[in-house]
Chains A and B, each alone.
Chain A
Amino acid sequence: MRTYTKYMAVVAAVVVALISVFILSYFWIPTERIGSQRSTTTTIATTSPTMRVTTTLSGVVNGAGATFLNPQMQAWASKFYELTGGRIQVNYQSIGSGAGQAKFREGVLDFAGSDPPLKSDIYNEFKAKGGIIQFPVIIGTIVIVYNIPSVESGKLRLTGEVVAKIYLGEISYWDDPAIKALNPDLNLPHEKIIAVHRSDGSGTTRVFTAYLSKVSEAWKSKVGSDFTVSWPVDELGNGVGGKGNEGVAAAVKQNPYSIGYVETAYAYSTGLAVALIRNRDGNYVLPAKEAVASAAKALVKVLPKADEDWSNIFPDEIIDPPGKESYPLTSFSFVILRQVYDDPVKAAILNEFFKWVLTEGQKPENILEGYDPLPPEVAAIGLDGLKLLRTG
């Protein structure tokens, strides 16, 4: 019995220790943060509007959201951490746009990253509670990839209507007259098209289906646009779902005669064949730097201000922009902030960090491969928006 007592005493000690660690860490960590925040004297009013990174601030801000934004946000955060000598730490967790928005709404996060901006009912809810700032921080593009053994990359020409018909199941073979008419020089096989799509809810699907809704009435009325949609091509047994960009890329690679859509970075890193897409002006384009910049510049006139409701124009209005060189599947990734923060230090840090992201952060050396920088006209939306930050 002596051994039992000993054993139980050890177990009890471990349990008590664990519980006390939890309780202590709960009380401890916030106190430490408050301590570090009190040590600063800077407030928004006194923050200098220079592009230099201030070194008087210190503290932590927490954000989460879009997975698409994640690698770029991590790169920015670590560069900024370095530039401030480790004083400012920006945490970002890649939990998905929807979850990011929901957690931000609950007040758990200091900022959210999101592929689409807020839906209008949520925007109005925030507006009633002190207002919102939402602005683009980076450009992302989506490419249509394919696997036809006899057709090399950059040769296949497609239009949005044809892609919509493929995913609707109305075009089932590669030698369909509609595809042949766009590619008179290619020898297209009589093989069934396997249409690959994302199986997880994603901003990429949201943008891709917004494009299809814009170019095809049938798509708009039968399917619509969202993080996840009900794919008509699946009903025919010709659709495949892949988890994440890597899942879609693998499915396209493994299935000859398939088509899919992925974020541009994944197409190049996996060596998939990329299709030319016809833009609104009738030219066939790839997401080259100029094509993306052209698309972004074409949009400047239609974009709202940071404190306005973006839900009506994004992504449905800004997708497939005009311009001779513009790449149609060009979209933004957003950061969402509140206008009012209780903690002046948090507001100041957010202001400094995103000001840096929108200026220095857009320089080529700070942009990862697969992303495109904002043109200065679009970055200005966020810079103007940051002026609305206040404490209360």
Chain B
Amino acid sequence: MNSEKIFPIFLIVFASISLLIVTSIVISLIINSYPIFLRDGFSFIFKSVWNPVKEDYGILPALLGTLISSAIAISIAMPLAISLAIFSAEIAPTSIRGFINSVSDLMASLPSVIYGLWGLYVLAPILNQYIMTPLHQYLGFIPLFSTKPIPTNLFTAGVLLAIMITPFSSSIIREAYNAIPHHLKEAAYSLGMTRWEVIRTLLGYIKSAILAGAFLALGRAMGETVAVAMVVGNTFTLPRSLFDMGYTISSLIANQFPNAEAYSYMMPALYSGALVLFTIGLIINLAGLYWIRRVVTRG
């Protein structure tokens, strides 16, 4: 048969398989979370309670915890990721570039349970002693730092997530940076620009890749389960400051899933948590796509 005809058929088959998988995930999330929405309606999303004894569930603290810890993570990770990318593409001596890149790629692929254990036993005590406690002591009047910190809290989770996602978004930015046509760089230098001015101009050129790196990293931060469950503090209360302990939806699922079947409504509650997380991820990604498109067409 003509390969020109077979090729699109293959594409259609494989593309529809992945589409089918995503659709069936969404459908099963909806079916499995249906009972809790039937019982509680949408109030379930805005309640702050997790009481299996009374079969009373609400996920607001976990939802806020997810948003807060991911926001911390992304605001720490992006400057780091951009710096790392530029350092390895522009400034580092060619001989060690390969080394830096492979170490960073290795960090991106480490299993998250390793990050979790390291975060719990190493990062959390260090952050507590050298960053959180001083911040609370001297700047405790600012509401953000008002809670007396203990090692495992939302801030620690955010920092750990930042460390986990930095190499990930850095490699996306690096690849985009390296793909910039060489003549653009030469043109910039020939105009008499300094090295810093050239880098700034080229970064503007790959804005969309930087945003893409940020959104992918944000998605990973929001969905991270095990590592966060180990360092977030896991208390089901509304956070009052950055140093308060909290929960995230993913860590709630990781914590509660094993025994959830012993209750009538916990499984639906966890599934609807996943559905909410999915919806937020979808909204953020759509917003990101829209933004990237605007940036690209404007630039």
Contact = CB atoms under 8 A, between A and B. Distances in A.
Interface string A78-114: 0000000000000000011111011100000000000
A4 B152 contact: no
B22 to A, nearest CB: 19
B53 A226 contact: yes
Contacts of A99: 258-262
A354 interface: no
Interface in A210-265: 223-231, 234-235, 237, 239-243, 247, 250-251, 254-255
A272 interface: no
Contacts of B262: 97-99, 101-102, 119, 201, 227
A228 B52 contact: yes
Interface in B110-161: 120-121, 124-125, 128, 147, 150-152
Contacts of A67: 258
Contacts of A240: 150, 152, 233-235, 245
Interface string B252-282: 0011101111110000000000000000000
Nearest to A3: B3
Nearest to B233: A240
Contacts of B233: 240-241
Interface stretch (B4-12, B34-42, B172-180, B199-207): B4-12
Interface stretch (A5-13, A323-331, A359-367, A383-391): A5-13
Interface residues of A, number: 44
A231 B120 contact: no
A230 B6 contact: no
A199 interface: yes
A201 B53 contact: no
B188 to A, nearest CB: 38
A202 interface: yes
A17 B147 CA distance: 57
Contact of B245 (A12, A228, A241, A250): A241
A1 interface: yes
B229 A5 contact: no
B120 A247 contact: yes
A251 B259 contact: no
A245 B49 CA distance: 24
Contacts of B121: 250
Contacts of B147: 237
A226 B236 contact: no
Given A194-B150, A240-B245, A201 B237 contact: no
A231 B234 CA distance: 11
A25 to B, nearest CB: 21
Contacts of B49: 230
Contact of B7 (A4, A119, A255): A4
Contacts of B53: 223-226, 229-230
A255 B49 CA distance: 26
Contacts of B10: 8, 11-12
Given A2-B3, A201-B258, A255-B151, A243 B234 contact: yes
A363 B147 CA distance: 51
Given A98-B261, A237-B237, 18 more contacts: A5-B6, A11-B10, A97-B259, A98-B262, A102-B261, A102-B262, A199-B255, A201-B258, A224-B53, A230-B49, A230-B50, A234-B235, A234-B237, A237-B147, A237-B240, A240-B152, A242-B152, A247-B234
26 contacts: A1-B4, A1-B7, A5-B6, A5-B7, A8-B7, A11-B10, A96-B258, A97-B259, A98-B260, A99-B258, A101-B261, A227-B259, A228-B259, A229-B52, A230-B49, A234-B235, A237-B147, A237-B245, A240-B152, A240-B233, A241-B234, A250-B121, A254-B125, A254-B128, A254-B150, A255-B151
Interface of A: 1-2, 4-5, 8, 11-12, 67, 95-99, 101-103, 119, 194, 199-202, 223-231, 234-235, 237, 239-243, 247, 250-251, 254-255
Per CB-CB distance, the 8 closest pairs between chain A and chain B, nearest first, are A241-B234, A98-B262, A96-B258, A199-B234, A201-B259, A98-B259, A102-B261, A230-B51
